[in-house]
Structures are given as C-alpha cells and as structure tokens.
Amino acid sequence: QVQLQQSGPRLVKPSQTLSLTCAISGDSVSANTVTWSWFRQSPLRGLEWLGGTYYRSKWNNDYALSVKSRITINPDTTNNQFSLQLNSVTPEDTAVYYCARAKGGYFAYWGQGTLVTVSS
Amino acid sequence: EIVMTQSPATLSVSPGERANLFCRASQSVSNNLAWYQQIPGQAPRLLIYGASTRATGVPARFSGSGSGTELTLAISSLQSEDFAVYYCQQYDTWPWTFGLGTKVEIK
C-alpha cells in the first residue's frame, strides 16, 4: 500500500521560500511508471496542479506555467521522497498543498495535505 | 490546454436519490478521464479512471460513462457519506487538467 507523508513549515513570510517534503512508502521515487506531483488548493484557485517529477532513464520535471519561474521539484533517492520549493511567495500562495502519485495519468494516492499560510 | 467544465456547480439531492454529474471537455479526451471525491478537510479520493472503471474499494453505486467531450458520473442512491465535492480530470493531453468541481449537498 502506497502512503505519502507530507512535512514542512505551515507559516512562511512573504518573499521567502515555501518548502515541503513528501515521504514515500510502498513505492520508489525512482519507479519508471509513475509521476510524483504537487498540487495546491484554495477557494480562489480550486485544485491546481503545480508540477511533477518522474524517472524515465533520467530525471524529468514538468511545471505549471503559472508557477514555472518560481518552482522546483526535486527527487531524493536516498530518503525515497520528493520536495517542493516555491520561491518569492505572496499571500496568494496561501493554500492547502498536496503531494500525489500518478500512474497511467490519474492520481490514486495523495498526501494528507498541508495548509501553508503566507503572512508576516 | 484542455478546459474541463463541470455542471452543475452545486447539486441538491435527498438521501437515496440519484445524482448525475457532468463533465465537458473543450476537446476530445477519449476515455482518459478520472473522477475524484473530496470531503472537506480530506485529500481527493480517486473514484473512477478510464471514464468508467471504479477504483479499488469504490462502491458499485458510483458509475462513470461517456467518452470524447461529454462524460458523466452517476451516483445511484446517495448515502450520507457521498455528500462532497466531485472533480473530473483529463489525462489524455498534457498538461493534465481538472474541472472546478460539483458540490453535492443535502436537499
């Protein structure tokens, strides 16, 4: 059974970097048939896919255009996890953030969600 | 990118009644569509993939149908635990996109 456990700060100051980690159990971040993604959800934006990382002979990343200039998603093969970094945050980045696994294009496994508030 | 439009935005249904939720794609997604249920405070839960295949553990009262640009999620007899928000997602064309959701509320 795949489980995803999120961790990271719940309060970030404006202009700083939001950082979250998603620890994987029951699967490998290096599996070559899945994609590991980050989402966020807010009343303003609904459910928004932010980006993902996946291994297909080499590591690949895809990012949503809305955050492409500010986002980095990195795999961590040593600890079997992946991370999200979102730079230069503003209050509009306040949301519940989720990590999730896609296989075949749909997301059967999700993290528990982390409410991140951007405020001074 | 493909735009997914869900209707209605809110559906008021009495327990035991049937609910039909609709998802329209701005271009064909074939049968590469998933449905998710989200209860407040929880992560989305996969219900249906491949437009009509129930995910593991999903009750038979949930059924998906359609292909191309018009897809439907039906809940045959609403139970108390089914009152939630439902999202459709296409995975036919990158980037994958979600609808804005349909809230199913108690009438």
Of A48, A107, A113, the CB nearest to B46: A107
Give how far A53 is from chain B: nearest CA, Å. 13
| Confidence at residue B95, expressed as pLDDT on a 0 to 100 scale | 87
| Confidence at residue B51, expressed as pLDDT on a 0 to 100 scale | 98
Q: Is it the case that residue A45 has pLDDT exceeding 90?
A: no
By 3-state DSSP, what share of chain A in percent is helix, strand and coil, each rounded to 5?
0, 60, 40
| Confidence at residue B99, expressed as pLDDT on a 0 to 100 scale | 95
Q: How many CB atoms sit inside 10 A of residue A14's CB?
A: 13
Report residue A43's pLDDT band, with 50, 70 and 90 as the boundaries: confident
Chain A positions in Cβ-Cβ contact with residue B45 (cut-off 8 Å) = 110
Beta-carbon separation of B49 and A104 below 8 A: yes
| Confidence at residue B41, expressed as pLDDT on a 0 to 100 scale | 92
Q: For chain A, what is the mean pLDDT? A: 96
| Confidence at residue A46, expressed as pLDDT on a 0 to 100 scale | 85
| Confidence at residue A7, expressed as pLDDT on a 0 to 100 scale | 98
Given a cut of 70, the residues of chain B with pLDDT beneath it are none
Choose, out of B2, B49, B71, B73, the residue to mutate when testing the contact with A (most A CBs < 10 Å): B49
| Confidence at residue A65, expressed as pLDDT on a 0 to 100 scale | 92
Report residue A44's pLDDT band, with 50, 70 and 90 as the boundaries: confident
User: Which strand (E) or helix (H) includes residue A20?
Assistant: strand A18-25
Residues B93 and B85: their CA atoms lie apart, in Å, by 24
Measured in degrees and rounded to the nearest 5, phi and psi for residue B46 equal -70, 125
Give how far A112 is from chain B: nearest CA, Å. 6
Give how far A14 is from chain B: nearest CA, Å. 25
Handedness of CA A54, A47, B34, A65 (dihedral sign): negative
The DSSP bridge partners found for residue B45 are B37
Measured in degrees and rounded to the nearest 5, phi and psi for residue A13 equal -80, 150
SS3 assignment, position B30: coil
**Torsion region of A53: left, alpha or beta (phi above 0 gives left; psi -120 to 50 gives alpha):** beta
The DSSP bridge partners found for residue B7 are B22
